[in-house]
Chains A and B, each alone.
Chain A
Amino acid sequence: MDKNDIAIIKSKRKSELIGKSYTTACGMLIIILTLSIFFFIASKGVATFTTDHVSIFDFLFSSTWAPEKIGSRGQPYVGAAIFIAGSIIVSIFAVLVSTPISICSAVFMTEISPKLGEKFLRPAIELFAGIPSVVYGWIGLSILVPFLRNTVGGLGFSLLAAGIVLTIMIFPTIASVAADSLRVLPSDYREAAYALGATRWQTIKGVLIPAALPQIFTGVVLGMARAFGEALAVQMVIGNSIKFPQGLTDPTITLTSIITMDMGNTVAGSAWNNALWSMALLLLLISFGFIILIRRISKRGD
């Protein structure tokens, strides 16, 4: 080993160290950022319960939302039940309607007509996924709401409008996950099924979809999470009336909606403001719940 070799080894060690430090720093930055955001929201969110002495039960299950009034025990009326119900109903609607359509599109794309699927469906899905939510909301507002008003009655601003908009918004999510999960299935399954005398549809329904189900399900949960967290498009078409809806054509409101509308109008530190932070915390916790669910399902699928 001469001086040259030693110099080369030294410079290799140096760049190794720089590379390691940089990537570690980036990794740590992300972790610290995530934890900071969580702790920040959590600290603001618990103020409702610690400072304003609202019980968690009241917050989750009471539908009395009058955050500027003070009740007999000195605590504000910040029951979020209506918002929670709105978020849940609208998301479940979107998932129930979108999932069958998405799975069928995925089957069409991968099994029935792969060429057409590659050429037309896949770009269409990618296009859909890229449309900003404000555009979905605007189209919903200008076209869907008047249409609903004229056909099924009501104000047009409704659960139904929000559900339909969300259904279309989460379709690319579920469809692309479903298509991928079908595509990675081993061709062995198809061969074995055909060799037994199954038709193409019997193969798809009896073997392929059941085999892809765990992965498809993660797509459904992802879609559900997206629907639950969507703010702008929902807020533009749902009507934002703080009442439980009696039917699909009634307006109502969601967690994301009320935060969008009220955040700018409340005073920091007030009960109203604190309640909104608690709702943000609730949304965060529910998102975590979805993520944990997805990871559980993926693990079981292995």
Chain B
Amino acid sequence: MDKIIQISDLNLYYGTNHALKDVSMEIEKNRITALIGPSGCGKSTFLRTLNRMNDLIENVKISGSILFEGRDIYKNYDKIYLRKKVGMVFQKPNPFPMSIYDNIAYGPRVHGIKSKSKLDDIVENSLKGAALWDEVKDRLSKSAIGLSGGQQQRLCIARTLAVEPDVILMDEPTSALDPISTSKIEDLIAMLKQKYTVVIVTHNMQQAGRISDTTAFFLSGVVVELGPTEELFYKPKDKRTEDYITGRFG
């Protein structure tokens, strides 16, 4: 199995707060990896190291290495290029206050694509890839803010797909949505692994169980257990994992 991201001895400090401790793991290509754990355990922080979004925060110190396709992303790696290859979908849908078309086209335009016909194709393919095309194809010039929550989140996924990433990071993508939108997006995520690699942070263990291939359990900045989802859920090796999964805390 291809390892597309390899994390070794990752430590992260927010000032004096040691948020991630000696994290080592590998993300497999074309698989869905879920990161679970109680609030504040570091799973979102960890997710953000993978596309260097933590660079936006002051007083963050990182040690260790993260290799994306074999190259260390914190050493001599253009983070603009990194973010193109490793995209992110956020917890609260955050479409730009522009038309649906311009939302999707923003990414490609930023990376130099100017031709209208090319952009038209990209917009259509991205919206199809996010299972949103049929619902919005007749109103591409309308504002994205007018869409429902579930549609907005699928729009954000389409927006990420438009820059042709290899990896899609998702930070609790359905926690702000209703159950029906959630299940639509879960179906979408399951489909995405054919072309992309997905790393998803989720508070919802049932969701992790439903859609992921591999699961990592984080606790207080440490990866307590990592393994195939079925194993982790039904035969956890660590007592802390078992306690979390059975709901004794978290």
A-side interface residues toward B, CB under 8 Å? 186, 188-199, 202, 206-207, 210-211
Q: Which of B84, B106, B159 contacts A206 (CB 8 A)?
A: B106
User: Number of residue pairs across A and B with beta carbons under 8 Å?
Assistant: 65
- Bound-state Cα–Cα, A193 to B98, Å: 13
What are the 10 closest A-B residue pairs judged by CB atoms, nearest first?
A188-B94, A197-B84, A197-B83, A195-B88, A196-B107, A192-B94, A198-B110, A197-B80, A211-B97, A202-B110
Known: A186-B94, A192-B96. 19 other contacts (CB 8 A): A188-B92, A192-B156, A192-B159, A193-B96, A193-B106, A193-B110, A194-B56, A195-B88, A195-B160, A196-B83, A196-B84, A198-B110, A199-B80, A202-B110, A206-B106, A206-B109, A207-B96, A207-B106, A210-B97
Inter-subunit contact B90/A192 (CB<8 Å): yes
- Bound-state Cα–Cα, A192 to B93, Å: 9
Say if the beta carbon of B81 comes within 8 Å of chain A: yes
Say if the beta carbon of B60 comes within 8 Å of chain A: no
Name which residue of chain B comes closest to A301, CB basis.
B97
Name which residue of chain B comes closest to A208, CB basis.
B96
Say if the beta carbon of B163 comes within 8 Å of chain A: yes
Say if the beta carbon of B111 comes within 8 Å of chain A: yes
**Interface pairs (10), CB distance under 8 Å:** A188-B94, A189-B94, A191-B94, A192-B96, A193-B106, A194-B53, A195-B87, A195-B160, A196-B87, A206-B109
- Bound-state Cα–Cα, A199 to B55, Å: 13
Inter-subunit contact A195/B51 (CB<8 Å): yes
Contact with A along B73-97 (1 / 0, CB 8 A): 0000000111110011010101111
- Bound-state Cα–Cα, A191 to B98, Å: 16
Q: How far is the CB of B192 from chain A (nearest CB, A)?
A: 16
Report which residue of A191, A197, A198, A206 has the largest number of chain B beta carbons within 10 angstroms of its beta carbon. Answer: A197
Q: How far is the CB of B157 from chain A (nearest CB, A)?
A: 12
Report which residue of A190, A198, A199, A210 has the largest number of chain B beta carbons within 10 angstroms of its beta carbon. Answer: A198
Q: How far is the CB of A301 from chain B (nearest CB, A)?
A: 10
- Bound-state Cα–Cα, A194 to B82, Å: 11
Report which residue of B90, B110, B111, B156 has the largest number of chain A beta carbons within 10 angstroms of its beta carbon. Answer: B110
Known: A192-B156, A211-B97. A206 touches B92 (CB 8 A): no
Q: Please, which residues of chain A bring their CB within 8 A of the CB of B111?
A: 197
Inter-subunit contact A196/B106 (CB<8 Å): yes
Q: How far is the CB of B107 from chain A (nearest CB, A)?
A: 4
Q: Which of A191, A198, A207, A211 contacts B90 (CB 8 A)?
A: A191
Q: Please, which residues of chain A bring their CB within 8 A of the CB of B53?
A: 191, 194-195
- Bound-state Cα–Cα, A195 to B171, Å: 12
Q: How far is the CB of A224 from chain B (nearest CB, A)?
A: 25
Name which residue of chain A comes closest to B162, CB basis.
A196
Q: Please, which residues of chain B bring their CB within 8 A of the CB of A188?
A: 90, 92, 94
Q: Please, which residues of chain A bring their CB within 8 A of the CB of B107?
A: 196-198
Name which residue of chain B comes closest to A190, CB basis.
B56
Name which residue of chain B comes closest to A188, CB basis.
B94
Q: Please, which residues of chain B bring their CB within 8 A of the CB of A190?
A: 56
Q: Which of A191, A197, A199 contacts B163 (CB 8 A)?
A: A197
Q: Please, which residues of chain A bring their CB within 8 A of the CB of B106?
A: 193, 196, 198, 206-207
Q: Please, which residues of chain B bring their CB within 8 A of the CB of A210?
A: 97-98
- Bound-state Cα–Cα, A191 to B56, Å: 9
- Bound-state Cα–Cα, A195 to B106, Å: 12
- Bound-state Cα–Cα, A195 to B56, Å: 11
- Bound-state Cα–Cα, A196 to B56, Å: 14
Known: A194-B53, A194-B56, A195-B53. A211 touches B96 (CB 8 A): yes
Q: Please, which residues of chain A bring their CB within 8 A of the CB of B81?
A: 197
- Bound-state Cα–Cα, A174 to B88, Å: 35
- Bound-state Cα–Cα, A195 to B95, Å: 12
Inter-subunit contact B160/A196 (CB<8 Å): yes
Q: Please, which residues of chain B bring their CB within 8 A of the CB of A189?
A: 94, 96-97
- Bound-state Cα–Cα, A194 to B160, Å: 11
Q: Please, which residues of chain B bring their CB within 8 A of the CB of A211?
A: 96-97
Name which residue of chain A comes closest to B52, CB basis.
A194
Q: How far is the CB of B173 from chain A (nearest CB, A)?
A: 13
Name which residue of chain A comes closest to B107, CB basis.
A196
- Bound-state Cα–Cα, A198 to B106, Å: 9
174-217 of chain B: CB within 8 A of chain A: none
Q: Please, which residues of chain A bring their CB within 8 A of the CB of B97?
A: 189, 210-211
